Amino acid sequence: MKAQPLPDLSRCAVHTVTTKPWPIGTAIEKYARAGFGGITVWRDTLVGRDPLVVGKQIRDAGLRNTALVRGGFFCYGNEEERAKALEDNRLALREAEATGAPMVVLVCGARPEQSLGESREQIRDGIAELLPEAEARGVVLAIEPLHPMYADTRSAVNTLASANDMAEGLDSPWVGLAVDVYHLWWDPDLYAQIRRCGKNGNLTAFHVCDWRVPTEDFLLDRGLMGEGCIDVPGIRAVVEEAGFTGFNEVEIFSKRRWEGDQDAWLADIARACREAV
Site residues (CB under 8 A) for a copy of itself? 112-113, 115-117, 120, 147-149, 151-153, 158-159, 161-162, 185-189, 211, 213-215, 218, 228-229, 231, 234
Cα–Cα separations (whole angstroms), residue 255 to 28, 69, 149, 185, 258: 21, 19, 19, 22, 5
Cβ proximity to a copy of itself: between 151 and 237 the closer is: 151
Any idea what DSSP says for residue 149?
G
Do 71 and 89 form a contact (C-beta atoms < 8 A)? Answer: yes
Q: CB-wise, 96 or 163, nearer to a copy of itself?
A: 163
* Least distance in angstroms from the C-beta of 264 to a copy of itself: 25
Closest distance between a copy of itself and the C-beta of residue 276, in Å?
14
Nearer to a copy of itself, 8 or 231 (CB): 231
> Residue 124 region, left (φ>0) first, then alpha (ψ -120 to 50), else beta?
alpha
Q: Nearest approach, Cβ of 21 to a copy of itself (angstroms)? A: 25
CA distance 47 to 174: 26
Nearest approach, Cβ of residue 70 and a copy of itself (Å): 19
Pick 1 or 47: Cβ nearer a copy of itself: 1
Which residue, 44 or 231, has its beta carbon nearer to a copy of itself?
Answer: 231
Q: How far is the CB of 160 from a copy of itself (least distance, A)?
A: 11
Please name the residue ranges forming H helices in the chain. 24-34, 51-60, 79-99, 116-137, 160-170, 181-184, 190-199, 232-241, 255-258, 262-276
